[in-house]
């Protein structure tokens, strides 16, 4: 794929999706909010029940295989869509996978944890530790496996690398072309953001295309980095060095907000229940309380305040699996008034 003067696909790449995720108009939600809203359906795909991390894995695992790695090690919460996608992708490629998982110990093997195991990943549960402690524990696991003779590639949390971010520069251009084919164009993109390479890549794609699109990253895991904006900026410029070296991203190019983070990663936040309710009831699309519902909550709030310029593209980064985790299922049910009349 090329765009203008840039070849944005010069890097090792593996096709894990098999098709291009669609863009669709959310007509009923648009009517509800009075703003034209579209959805980029990265929640749909082939390997591992999809999600935005698959795009990054196409780049990262292509690079890992070029290095001769046969064993992938990465870390995340036990709710993580990134580790679930990594487990699925490595299974599809015949690579080994070890996942170092933090946060509360599960009462049942459900949600992403169930999928991690089904995809044959080696699971290392380390309890409720900080992100910094988790990273150190993961380094210890990498050394252990290397000492045992494994050819290991350490996949950074969330596949958050400049290389991974290039996949979303490509994705920005892909979405523009899809919208144009339907006679439309977005003015704003809103997405859930954690480790940062999705936001960084989209911002780079906008710069490559020379657009003025507003790109709003709704932070759902603010404690991943000590300085979130600085790390997002680092990823964006690392990606630019790989595919568009004439471009330099500045801090002012990034727009991220923690206004919808609530009590923290995987914790309650205002507007999440309504976001889940409206998306499912009006559009038949599932968003989850850990990631994507917080981005939809931002769309709803900003639309009602009259500060959201349409057309809006909600980038559905995937992740409905937490809906089936006991940590969230009962709380979601109890938080949506229309469900209270249903007798179980």
Q: With contact defined as beta carbons under 8 Å apart, do 156 and 260 qualify? A: no
Cα–Cα distance measured from residue 57 to residue 319, given in angstroms and rounded to the nearest whole number: 16
Q: Which residue(s) pair with 217 in the sheet?
A: 191, 256
Q: With contact defined as beta carbons under 8 Å apart, do 261 and 222 qualify? A: yes
Cis peptide before 239 (omega within 30 of 0): no
Q: Has 252 been annotated as catalytic?
A: no
Q: With contact defined as beta carbons under 8 Å apart, do 38 and 312 qualify? A: yes
Nearest Cα to Cα of residue 170 among 332, 17, 322, 46? 17
| Residue 91 φ then ψ, to 5° | -60, -45
The number of C-alpha atoms within 13 Å of 169 and in the hemisphere containing its C-beta is 36
* Helix, strand or coil, per DSSP, at residue 281: helix
Task: Using DSSP bridges, classify how beta strands 2-3 and 6-7 pair: parallel, antiparallel or unpaired.
Answer: antiparallel
Cα–Cα distance measured from residue 279 to residue 172, given in angstroms and rounded to the nearest whole number: 23
Catalytic residue (one of 3, 30, 77, 80): 80
Nearest Cα to Cα of residue 30 among 291, 305, 314? 314
Q: With contact defined as beta carbons under 8 Å apart, do 300 and 271 qualify? A: yes
Residues recognised as catalytic: 80
């Amino acid at each position: 794929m090329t765009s203008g003067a840039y070849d944005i696909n010069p890097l090792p790449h593996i096709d894990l999706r098999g098709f291009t995720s669609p863009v669709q108009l959310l007509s009923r939600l648009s009517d509800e909010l009075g703003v034209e809203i579209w959805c980029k359906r990265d929640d749909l795909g082939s390997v591992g029940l999809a999600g935005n991390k698959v795009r990054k894995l196409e780049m990262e695992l292509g690079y890992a295989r070029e290095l001769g790695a046969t064993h992938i090690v990465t870390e995340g919460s036990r709710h993580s869509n990134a580790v679930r996608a990594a487990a699925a992708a490595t299974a599809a490629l015949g690579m080994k996978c070890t996942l170092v998982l933090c946060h509360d110990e599960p009462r049942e093997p459900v949600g992403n944890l169930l999928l991690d195991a089904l995809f044959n990943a080696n699971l290392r549960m380390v309890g409720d530790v900080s992100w910094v402690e988790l990273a150190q524990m993961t380094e210890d696991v990498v050394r252990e496996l290397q000492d045992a003779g494994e050819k290991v590639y350490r996949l950074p949390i969330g596949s958050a690398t400049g290389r991974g971010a290039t996949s979303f520069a490509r994705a920005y251009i892909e979405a523009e072309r899809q919208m144009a084919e339907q006679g439309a164009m977005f003015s704003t993109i809103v997405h859930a953001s954690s480790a940062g390479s999705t936001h960084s890549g989209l911002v780079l794609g906008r710069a490559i295309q020379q657009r003025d699109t507003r790109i709003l990253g709704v932070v759902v895991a603010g404690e991943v980095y000590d300085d979130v904006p600085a790390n997002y900026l680092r990823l964006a410029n690392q990606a630019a060095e790989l595919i568009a070296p004439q471009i330099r991203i500045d801090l002012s190019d990034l727009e991220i907000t923690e206004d919808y983070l609530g009590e923290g990663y995987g914790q309650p936040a205002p507007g999440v229940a309504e976001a889940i309710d409206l998306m499912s009831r009006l559009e038949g699309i599932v968003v989850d309380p850990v990631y994507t519902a917080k981005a939809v909550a931002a769309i709803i709030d900003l639309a009602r305040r009259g500060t959201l310029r349409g057309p809006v593209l909600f980038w559905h980064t995937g992740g409905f699996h937490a809906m089936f985790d006991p940590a969230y299922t009962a709380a979601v049910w109890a938080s949506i008034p229309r469900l209270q009349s249903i007798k179980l």
